[in-house]
Protein backbone atom coordinates (compact mmCIF):
# COMPACT_ATOMS: atom_id res chain seq x y z
CA UNK A 1 0.00 0.00 0.00
CA UNK A 2 1.04 3.60 -0.52
CA UNK A 3 2.83 4.51 2.69
CA UNK A 4 3.95 8.02 3.49
CA UNK A 5 3.11 10.94 1.23
CA UNK A 6 0.42 12.19 3.57
CA UNK A 7 -2.96 11.04 4.59
CA UNK A 8 -4.79 12.24 1.51
CA UNK A 9 -2.73 10.16 -0.80
CA UNK A 10 -3.28 6.92 1.06
CA UNK A 11 -5.24 4.47 -1.00
CA UNK A 12 -6.36 0.94 -0.32
CA UNK A 13 -6.99 0.34 -3.98
CA UNK A 14 -3.47 -0.05 -5.20
CA UNK A 15 -3.31 -2.47 -8.11
CA UNK A 16 -1.61 -5.23 -6.12
CA UNK A 17 -4.23 -5.15 -3.39
CA UNK A 18 -6.97 -5.23 -5.98
CA UNK A 19 -5.40 -8.20 -7.64
CA UNK A 20 -5.04 -9.99 -4.31
CA UNK A 21 -8.67 -9.29 -3.38
CA UNK A 22 -9.90 -10.48 -6.78
CA UNK A 23 -7.78 -13.56 -6.43
CA UNK A 24 -9.32 -14.34 -3.08
CA UNK A 25 -12.82 -13.80 -4.47
CA UNK A 26 -12.19 -16.14 -7.38
CA UNK A 27 -10.64 -18.77 -5.18
CA UNK A 28 -13.56 -18.57 -2.74
CA UNK A 29 -15.96 -19.03 -5.62
CA UNK A 30 -14.00 -22.00 -6.89
CA UNK A 31 -14.00 -23.48 -3.41
CA UNK A 32 -17.78 -23.53 -3.45
CA UNK A 33 -17.64 -25.82 -6.45
CA UNK A 34 -14.71 -27.86 -5.16
CA UNK A 35 -16.77 -29.76 -2.60
CA UNK A 36 -19.39 -30.84 -5.11
CA UNK A 37 -16.82 -31.33 -7.85
CA UNK A 38 -14.83 -33.86 -5.87
CA UNK A 39 -11.69 -31.68 -5.90
CA UNK A 40 -11.13 -32.03 -2.16
CA UNK A 41 -9.22 -34.97 -0.77
CA UNK A 42 -8.27 -36.04 2.69
CA UNK A 43 -4.64 -37.00 3.22
CA UNK A 44 -3.34 -38.82 6.27
CA UNK A 45 -0.03 -38.49 8.08
CA UNK A 46 1.13 -41.12 10.58
CA UNK A 47 1.48 -40.27 14.26
CA UNK A 48 4.11 -42.65 15.59
CA UNK A 49 4.56 -43.99 19.10
CA UNK A 50 8.20 -43.04 19.61
CA UNK A 51 9.26 -45.90 21.85
CA UNK A 52 7.89 -48.72 19.69
CA UNK A 53 7.90 -47.01 16.31
CA UNK A 54 4.30 -48.11 15.73
CA UNK A 55 1.70 -45.98 13.98
CA UNK A 56 -1.13 -45.47 16.48
CA UNK A 57 -2.92 -42.53 14.91
CA UNK A 58 -3.08 -40.37 11.82
CA UNK A 59 -3.78 -36.69 11.34
CA UNK A 60 -6.31 -35.96 8.61
CA UNK A 61 -5.10 -33.08 6.42
CA UNK A 62 -7.25 -31.61 3.70
CA UNK A 63 -6.01 -31.10 0.13
CA UNK A 64 -7.54 -29.17 -2.74
CA UNK A 65 -6.67 -30.17 -6.26
CA UNK A 66 -7.72 -27.09 -8.20
CA UNK A 67 -8.40 -27.81 -11.90
CA UNK A 68 -6.27 -24.87 -13.09
CA UNK A 69 -3.95 -24.07 -10.22
CA UNK A 70 -3.06 -27.57 -9.08
CA UNK A 71 -2.66 -28.26 -5.39
CA UNK A 72 -3.70 -25.29 -3.25
CA UNK A 73 -2.37 -25.33 0.31
CA UNK A 74 -4.84 -25.44 3.20
CA UNK A 75 -2.86 -22.53 4.64
CA UNK A 76 -4.24 -20.55 1.69
CA UNK A 77 -7.80 -21.83 1.39
CA UNK A 78 -8.83 -22.62 4.99
CA UNK A 79 -8.79 -18.88 5.85
CA UNK A 80 -11.03 -18.26 2.80
CA UNK A 81 -13.33 -21.06 3.91
CA UNK A 82 -13.52 -19.48 7.36
CA UNK A 83 -14.23 -16.00 6.02
CA UNK A 84 -16.98 -17.23 3.70
CA UNK A 85 -18.58 -19.68 6.10
CA UNK A 86 -17.78 -22.56 3.75
CA UNK A 87 -15.70 -24.04 6.56
CA UNK A 88 -18.86 -25.51 8.07
CA UNK A 89 -19.63 -27.60 5.01
CA UNK A 90 -15.98 -28.49 4.50
CA UNK A 91 -15.64 -29.42 8.17
CA UNK A 92 -18.53 -31.84 8.05
CA UNK A 93 -17.12 -33.40 4.91
CA UNK A 94 -13.77 -33.88 6.70
CA UNK A 95 -15.48 -35.47 9.69
CA UNK A 96 -17.63 -37.82 7.63
CA UNK A 97 -14.70 -38.88 5.51
CA UNK A 98 -12.45 -39.43 8.57
CA UNK A 99 -15.04 -41.57 10.27
CA UNK A 100 -15.34 -43.87 7.25
CA UNK A 101 -11.59 -44.42 7.16
CA UNK A 102 -11.08 -44.87 10.87
CA UNK A 103 -13.80 -47.47 10.88
CA UNK A 104 -11.99 -49.46 8.25
CA UNK A 105 -8.61 -49.12 9.92
CA UNK A 106 -9.91 -50.11 13.33
CA UNK A 107 -11.64 -53.18 11.98
CA UNK A 108 -8.89 -54.27 9.59
CA UNK A 109 -5.53 -53.25 11.00
CA UNK A 110 -5.52 -51.74 14.44
CA UNK A 111 -8.43 -51.97 16.92
CA UNK A 112 -7.43 -48.80 18.80
CA UNK A 113 -6.55 -46.63 15.85
CA UNK A 114 -7.46 -42.93 16.07
CA UNK A 115 -7.87 -40.24 13.45
CA UNK A 116 -7.02 -36.71 14.51
CA UNK A 117 -9.09 -34.00 12.85
CA UNK A 118 -8.38 -30.25 12.75
CA UNK A 119 -11.17 -27.86 13.61
CA UNK A 120 -11.23 -24.14 12.98
CA UNK A 121 -12.37 -21.97 15.89
CA UNK A 122 -15.49 -21.09 13.93
CA UNK A 123 -16.45 -24.72 13.52
CA UNK A 124 -15.63 -25.57 17.06
CA UNK A 125 -17.63 -22.74 18.59
CA UNK A 126 -20.71 -23.59 16.62
CA UNK A 127 -23.57 -25.13 18.55
CA UNK A 128 -25.84 -26.84 16.10
CA UNK A 129 -27.27 -29.98 14.63
CA UNK A 130 -24.50 -30.90 12.23
CA UNK A 131 -22.22 -31.82 15.10
CA UNK A 132 -24.95 -33.91 16.68
CA UNK A 133 -25.51 -35.57 13.33
CA UNK A 134 -21.87 -36.43 13.19
CA UNK A 135 -21.91 -37.95 16.68
CA UNK A 136 -24.92 -39.94 15.54
CA UNK A 137 -22.92 -41.17 12.60
CA UNK A 138 -20.18 -42.46 14.90
CA UNK A 139 -22.82 -44.32 16.87
CA UNK A 140 -24.51 -45.68 13.78
CA UNK A 141 -21.20 -47.15 12.67
CA UNK A 142 -20.76 -48.58 16.15
CA UNK A 143 -17.59 -46.56 16.61
CA UNK A 144 -16.59 -45.39 20.08
CA UNK A 145 -15.80 -41.69 20.57
CA UNK A 146 -12.18 -42.72 21.19
CA UNK A 147 -11.82 -43.27 17.45
CA UNK A 148 -11.50 -39.53 16.97
CA UNK A 149 -9.24 -36.81 18.31
CA UNK A 150 -10.24 -33.20 17.68
CA UNK A 151 -7.37 -30.73 17.22
CA UNK A 152 -7.98 -27.17 18.37
CA UNK A 153 -5.64 -24.23 18.87
CA UNK A 154 -4.73 -22.26 21.96
CA UNK A 155 -6.49 -19.08 20.91
CA UNK A 156 -9.83 -20.81 21.29
CA UNK A 157 -9.23 -21.47 24.98
CA UNK A 158 -7.78 -18.06 25.67
CA UNK A 159 -11.05 -16.26 25.15
CA UNK A 160 -13.14 -19.30 25.92
CA UNK A 161 -16.86 -18.59 26.14
CA UNK A 162 -19.52 -20.95 27.33
CA UNK A 163 -20.02 -22.38 23.83
CA UNK A 164 -16.40 -23.56 23.89
CA UNK A 165 -16.64 -25.06 27.38
CA UNK A 166 -19.91 -26.76 26.49
CA UNK A 167 -18.50 -28.25 23.36
CA UNK A 168 -15.48 -29.57 25.25
CA UNK A 169 -17.80 -31.19 27.77
CA UNK A 170 -19.95 -32.69 25.03
CA UNK A 171 -16.89 -34.16 23.37
CA UNK A 172 -15.73 -35.59 26.68
CA UNK A 173 -19.15 -37.15 27.26
CA UNK A 174 -18.97 -38.81 23.87
CA UNK A 175 -15.47 -40.14 24.66
CA UNK A 176 -13.83 -38.02 21.98
CA UNK A 177 -10.34 -36.79 22.83
CA UNK A 178 -8.95 -33.31 22.37
CA UNK A 179 -5.48 -32.19 21.25
CA UNK A 180 -4.06 -28.73 21.58
CA UNK A 181 -2.39 -28.04 18.22
CA UNK A 182 0.70 -25.88 17.56
CA UNK A 183 1.40 -25.62 21.25
CA UNK A 184 3.89 -22.92 22.14
CA UNK A 185 3.13 -20.57 19.26
CA UNK A 186 0.19 -18.75 20.79
CA UNK A 187 -0.16 -17.10 24.14
CA UNK A 188 0.61 -20.34 25.96
CA UNK A 189 -1.20 -19.35 29.08
CA UNK A 190 -0.80 -22.52 31.05
CA UNK A 191 -3.81 -22.02 33.28
CA UNK A 192 -6.19 -23.40 30.66
CA UNK A 193 -4.43 -26.75 30.69
CA UNK A 194 -5.70 -27.12 34.21
CA UNK A 195 -9.07 -25.58 33.49
CA UNK A 196 -10.00 -27.65 30.44
CA UNK A 197 -9.90 -31.36 29.89
CA UNK A 198 -7.28 -31.78 27.19
CA UNK A 199 -5.75 -35.14 26.24
CA UNK A 200 -2.80 -34.27 24.00
CA UNK A 201 -0.38 -31.42 23.52
CA UNK A 202 1.13 -31.07 20.08
CA UNK A 203 4.49 -29.32 20.36
CA UNK A 204 4.78 -26.94 17.44
CA UNK A 205 7.18 -27.62 14.61
CA UNK A 206 9.08 -24.41 15.37
CA UNK A 207 10.44 -26.06 18.54
CA UNK A 208 11.23 -29.40 16.94
CA UNK A 209 13.10 -27.71 14.10
CA UNK A 210 15.86 -26.32 16.34
CA UNK A 211 16.20 -29.22 18.74
CA UNK A 212 19.81 -29.82 19.73
CA UNK A 213 21.36 -30.90 23.01
CA UNK A 214 21.63 -27.92 25.39
CA UNK A 215 19.63 -25.64 23.08
CA UNK A 216 16.94 -23.37 24.45
CA UNK A 217 14.30 -25.16 22.35
CA UNK A 218 15.44 -28.41 23.96
CA UNK A 219 14.99 -26.86 27.41
CA UNK A 220 11.52 -25.61 26.45
CA UNK A 221 10.49 -28.95 24.97
CA UNK A 222 11.76 -30.77 28.06
CA UNK A 223 9.77 -28.45 30.30
CA UNK A 224 6.60 -28.77 28.19
CA UNK A 225 6.82 -32.58 28.26
CA UNK A 226 7.38 -32.75 32.03
CA UNK A 227 4.56 -30.32 32.71
CA UNK A 228 2.16 -32.08 30.33
CA UNK A 229 2.84 -35.45 31.92
CA UNK A 230 2.30 -34.06 35.41
CA UNK A 231 -1.07 -32.81 34.22
CA UNK A 232 -1.89 -36.19 32.72
CA UNK A 233 -1.54 -35.20 29.06
CA UNK A 234 0.30 -37.11 26.32
CA UNK A 235 2.69 -35.22 24.06
CA UNK A 236 2.97 -35.33 20.26
CA UNK A 237 5.92 -33.57 18.61
CA UNK A 238 5.15 -32.06 15.20
CA UNK A 239 7.62 -31.71 12.34
CA UNK A 240 10.06 -34.49 13.25
CA UNK A 241 12.39 -34.55 10.25
CA UNK A 242 15.62 -36.11 11.50
CA UNK A 243 16.65 -39.18 13.49
CA UNK A 244 18.47 -36.89 15.91
CA UNK A 245 15.26 -35.00 16.67
CA UNK A 246 13.49 -38.28 17.28
CA UNK A 247 16.22 -39.45 19.69
CA UNK A 248 16.21 -36.19 21.62
CA UNK A 249 12.42 -36.24 21.91
CA UNK A 250 12.41 -39.86 23.00
CA UNK A 251 15.07 -39.12 25.64
CA UNK A 252 12.95 -36.20 26.86
CA UNK A 253 10.03 -38.59 27.34
CA UNK A 254 7.90 -37.39 24.42
CA UNK A 255 5.16 -39.93 23.64
CA UNK A 256 4.49 -39.51 19.91
CA UNK A 257 6.11 -37.98 16.88
CA UNK A 258 4.79 -36.82 13.52
CA UNK A 259 6.84 -35.60 10.60
CA UNK A 260 8.61 -36.23 7.34
CA UNK A 261 11.10 -38.59 9.06
CA UNK A 262 8.25 -41.09 9.37
CA UNK A 263 6.15 -40.12 6.37
CA UNK A 264 4.60 -37.17 4.56
CA UNK A 265 0.82 -36.83 4.46
CA UNK A 266 -0.50 -39.29 1.84
CA UNK A 267 -3.76 -40.27 0.14
CA UNK A 268 -6.00 -42.56 2.18
CA UNK A 269 -5.41 -45.65 0.03
CA UNK A 270 -1.65 -45.30 0.47
CA UNK A 271 -2.07 -44.89 4.18
CA UNK A 272 -4.24 -47.98 4.17
CA UNK A 273 -1.43 -49.95 2.53
CA UNK A 274 1.05 -48.64 5.09
CA UNK A 275 -1.11 -49.78 8.00
CA UNK A 276 -1.66 -53.13 6.37
CA UNK A 277 2.11 -53.60 6.00
CA UNK A 278 2.61 -52.68 9.64
CA UNK A 279 -0.03 -55.17 10.80
CA UNK A 280 1.52 -57.86 8.61
CA UNK A 281 5.01 -57.20 9.97
CA UNK A 282 3.74 -57.34 13.50
CA UNK A 283 1.99 -60.63 12.95
CA UNK A 284 5.23 -62.06 11.54
CA UNK A 285 7.24 -60.86 14.52
CA UNK A 286 4.73 -62.41 16.86
CA UNK A 287 4.85 -65.70 14.99
CA UNK A 288 8.66 -65.65 15.15
CA UNK A 289 8.65 -64.94 18.86
CA UNK A 290 6.20 -67.78 19.32
CA UNK A 291 8.35 -70.21 17.35
CA UNK A 292 11.37 -69.39 19.50
CA UNK A 293 9.56 -70.20 22.72
Cβ 106 to ligand C2E shortest distance, Å: 20
The answer to whether residue 62 forms part of the interface with ligand C2E (CB under 6 A) is: yes
Cβ 260 to ligand C2E shortest distance, Å: 4
Residue partners of 42: CB distance under 8 A and separation at least 6 = 60, 61, 62, 63, 94, 97, 98, 101, 268
Does residue 265 contact residue 228 with C-beta atoms inside 8 Å? no
For ligand C2E, how many residues bind (rule: CB under 6 A)?
23
The answer to whether residue 150 forms part of the interface with ligand C2E (CB under 6 A) is: no
User: Which position among 64, 157, 259, 275 is part of the footprint of ligand C2E (CB under 6 A)?
Assistant: 259
The answer to whether residue 86 forms part of the interface with ligand C2E (CB under 6 A) is: no
Within 13 Å, how many C-alpha atoms sit on residue 41's CB side?
Answer: 17
CA distance 205 to 203: 7
The answer to whether residue 154 forms part of the interface with ligand C2E (CB under 6 A) is: no
∠ CA 131-166-116, rounded to 5°: 50
Does residue 43 contact residue 60 with C-beta atoms inside 8 Å? yes
Residue 61 near which of ligand C2E, Mg ion, none (CB within 5-8 Å, type-dependent): ligand C2E
Residue 260 near which of Mg ion, ligand C2E, none (CB within 5-8 Å, type-dependent): ligand C2E
In the complex with ligand C2E, which residue's Cβ is closer, 74 or 253?
74
Cβ 23 to ligand C2E shortest distance, Å: 19
Does residue 115 contact residue 44 with C-beta atoms inside 8 Å? yes
The answer to whether residue 177 forms part of the interface with ligand C2E (CB under 6 A) is: no
Residue 75 near which of Mg ion, ligand C2E, none (CB within 5-8 Å, type-dependent): ligand C2E
In the complex with Mg ion, which residue's Cβ is closer, 118 or 177?
118
The answer to whether residue 119 forms part of the interface with ligand C2E (CB under 6 A) is: yes
Does residue 202 contact residue 183 with C-beta atoms inside 8 Å? yes
Which contacts qualify for 210-215: CB closer than 8 Å, 24 or more apart?
A: 211/244, 211/245, 211/248, 211/249, 212/244, 212/248, 213/248
Residues that bind ligand C2E (CB under 6 A): 45, 61-62, 73-75, 78, 94, 118-120, 151, 181-182, 205, 238-241, 258-260, 265
Amino acid sequence: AAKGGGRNRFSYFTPTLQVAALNRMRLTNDLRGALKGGQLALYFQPIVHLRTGRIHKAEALIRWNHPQRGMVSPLEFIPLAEASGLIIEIGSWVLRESVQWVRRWRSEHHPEFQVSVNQSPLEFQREDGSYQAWLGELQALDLPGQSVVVEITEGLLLDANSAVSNKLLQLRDAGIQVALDDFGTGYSSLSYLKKFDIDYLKIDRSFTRNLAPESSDMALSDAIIVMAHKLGLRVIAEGVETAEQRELLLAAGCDYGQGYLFARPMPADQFDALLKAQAHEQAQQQALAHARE
